[in-house]
Amino acid sequence: MNLTDPFVLSIIAIVVLSLLGLPIGHAMIGGSILYLLVAGLDMGTVAEQILNGLYSSYILIAVPLFILAAELMNAGTITHRLLDFCNAIVGRFRGGLALVNVVQSVIFAGMSGSAIADAAGTGKMMQTMMTDRDRYPPAFAAALTAATAVIGPIIPPSIPVVLYALVSDASIGFLFLGGVIPGILMGAVQAGLIVATARRRNFPIEAPVPMRDLPVITLRACPALMMPVVLLGGIYGGATTPTEAAAVAALYALLVSAVLYSSITPGGLYGSLLASARTTASIGMLIAGALVFNYVVTVENIPETLRVFLGGYDLTPLGYLLLVNVILLALGCLLEGTTILLVVVPILIPTARDLGIDLVHFGIVVVINIMIGLITPPYGLLLFIMTSIAGVSLGSLIREVLPFLLAMLAALLLITLVPGTVLWLPRLLGYEN
C-alpha cells in the first residue's frame, strides 16, 4: 500500500468526500477525476465513460419506467382493491391483517420493482389499517411492513436485478424468473412467523368476508392482478425486451388507474412523473459515478487481483458464496444498496464466475442480501421510512424487526445452499448454464 499510488489516493478521496456529505455519485466522479489527474491520464475519459456508458445501456431505461409504474399504482386505487382481495382470502385467520400484509406484498412485488415504493405506498396503507383501533402494536406493524417490503424487488420486476444484469451481463429474463421462488419463500417464512406468534400475542381476527362476495372482489382486483402476467408474459413470450416490458407496465398502470378505475387526476399524474424523474436522476448520478469508478477499477485490474488473492485460500464455491453473504450483509448495515450493487458487486463477480458459480444464482443471492441490508440497523432505509410513517422510535422498531430479520436470514441461507430454489424455474423454461 503506497499512499501516493493514484488508486489509493482516489479511494481515499471518495471515502473522504462521501463522509463530508457529498452525494455518493459526485464523490465517485470526483475521486475518479483525481485518479486520472495523478496517473497522468486524459481527464476527458470521465466524460467518455459516463456518456458512452449511459448511451449504450439500453437495459437501464427499464429503471425509470419501473419507478414510474410503481408511482402510478400508488397514486391510483389499484392498491386498495388489492388489499380488499387479500383481506377476503386470509383476513379470516388469527393475525389476519398481518397475513394480508404479507400476501399483498408478494402480489404487489409482481408489479413493482422497488421496496422503497412498496413501503411508502401500500406500506403506509397497511400501517394505518393495522394500528386502527389498537389492533396491532404500531412498532410490530411497522416492522412487518418493512420486512414484507423487502420481498418487492426479489420477485420480478425488480430494479436491483436490472442493475445486477447491467454489471454481470447475466440474462435479465432468467434472473427475473429466478427471483420468483425465493421471493415466495421469503413471504412464506414471514407468514410462518406470524402464525407461530399470533396466538401468544393474541392478534385479532378480521370479520370473515362471505364466500359469495369473493368473485366480485376478485373481479374488482383483476386488472391489478393481471399486471404480473402482462409483464412476465411479455418478456417470456418473446414479444418484448425487458425494457419494452417496463414501458408496457408503466402504460398499463396508467391505463388501469386512469381509464378503468378513473382514480388518477392530471395533478396526480404530474406528481407521479415529477417524483419518478427526480428518483431517476438521483439514481442515474450514482450509475454515472459507478461507470467512471468501475473504469478506474478495471484499469487497476482489481477484480483480477482479488481473484488471485482468494485463489490462494482454496475457496469452494459454497465457501465463497457464504463469504459474499457475510461481506454484503456487513456492508448493508452501513451503506445504501445501490452503491453496493454498482461498486462492490462488480469486483466480486469475476471470482464467482471463476469458481463456476451460476451467475443467475449468484445474482439472486446478491439481491436478497442487499434487500435485507435495507432493514439492518444502523443504516437501513426501510427502517427510516417506517419510523417516519408510523411515528415509532427506531429502537422499538429494531426490536420488532429482529425476529423477521432472523427468519429471512434463515431463508437466505437455504437459498444459498440449494441453488435449485433459484434455478429450477429458469431451467424449466429453457435456461442452460
Q: Among residue numbers 388 through 427, which ones bind another protein (CB under 8 A)?
A: 388
Q: Which stretch binds another protein (CB under 8 A): 207-215, 259-267, 273-281, 415-423?
A: 273-281
The helix/strand/coil state of 302 is: helix
Contact pick of 1, 19, 207, 211 for another protein (by CB under 8 A): 19
- Residue closer to another protein (CB basis): 52 or 298: 52
Grid coordinates representing 279? 428518483
- Answer whether 412's CB lies under 8 Å from 376's CB: no
Cis peptide before 157 (omega within 30 of 0): yes
d(CA 160, CA 309): 28
* DSSP H helices in 300-358: 302-311, 317-334, 337-339, 345-354
Q: Which stretch binds another protein (CB under 8 A): 19-27, 191-199, 224-232, 411-419?
A: 19-27
Stretch 51-80 residues interacting with another protein (CB under 8 A): 51, 54-56, 58, 60-61, 63-65, 67-68
Stretch 121-150 residues interacting with another protein (CB under 8 A): none
Q: Which of 273, 246, 248 is nearest to 58 (CA)?
A: 246
CB of 356 to another protein, least distance (A): 29
d(CA 17, CA 31): 8
265 binds another protein (CB under 8 A): no
- Answer whether 381's CB lies under 8 Å from 374's CB: yes
Cis peptide before 215 (omega within 30 of 0): no
Contact pick of 87, 114, 145, 351 for another protein (by CB under 8 A): 114
- Answer whether 258's CB lies under 8 Å from 264's CB: yes
- Residue closer to another protein (CB basis): 34 or 398: 34
Element containing residue 413 per DSSP (H, E)? helix 394-417
Q: At 94, phi and psi to the nearest 5?
A: -65, 135
116 binds another protein (CB under 8 A): yes
Grid coordinates representing 77? 386505487
Q: Residue 293: CB partners within 8 Å, gap ≥ 6?
A: 14, 28, 31, 32, 343
Q: Which stretch binds another protein (CB under 8 A): 11-19, 187-195, 196-204, 353-361?
A: 11-19
Contact pick of 11, 46, 181, 296 for another protein (by CB under 8 A): 46
Stretch 336-395 residues interacting with another protein (CB under 8 A): 336-339, 341, 370-371, 374, 378-379, 381-385, 387-388
258 binds another protein (CB under 8 A): no
Stretch 159-188 residues interacting with another protein (CB under 8 A): 159-160
Within a 13 Å sphere around the CA of 159, how many CA atoms are in the beta-carbon half?
28
DSSP 395: H
CB of 281 to another protein, least distance (A): 3
Grid coordinates representing 422? 433459484
Contact pick of 128, 132, 169, 278 for another protein (by CB under 8 A): 278
- Residue closer to another protein (CB basis): 326 or 334: 334
- Residue closer to another protein (CB basis): 191 or 383: 383
- Residue closer to another protein (CB basis): 55 or 313: 55
Q: Residue 23: CB partners within 8 Å, gap ≥ 6?
A: 282, 285, 286
Strand-pair partners of 205: 94
- Residue closer to another protein (CB basis): 90 or 371: 371
d(CA 240, CA 226): 17
CB of 370 to another protein, least distance (A): 7
d(CA 152, CA 69): 13
Contact pick of 7, 9, 11, 17 for another protein (by CB under 8 A): 17
Q: Which stretch binds another protein (CB under 8 A): 34-42, 75-83, 204-212, 217-225?
A: 34-42
Contact pick of 1, 20, 207, 428 for another protein (by CB under 8 A): 20
Grid coordinates representing 30? 470526483
Q: Which stretch binds another protein (CB under 8 A): 37-45, 216-224, 304-312, 347-355?
A: 37-45
Contact pick of 222, 229, 260, 277 for another protein (by CB under 8 A): 277
Stretch 211-250 residues interacting with another protein (CB under 8 A): 243-244, 247-248, 250
259 binds another protein (CB under 8 A): no
Stretch 285-314 residues interacting with another protein (CB under 8 A): 285-288
As a whole number of Å, the end-to-end CA separation of the chain is: 39
Number of residues that bind another protein (CB under 8 A): 86
Q: Which stretch binds another protein (CB under 8 A): 114-122, 165-173, 301-309, 399-407?
A: 114-122
C-alpha to C-alpha distances, 410 to 52, 63, 173, 341, nearest whole angstrom: 41, 30, 27, 22
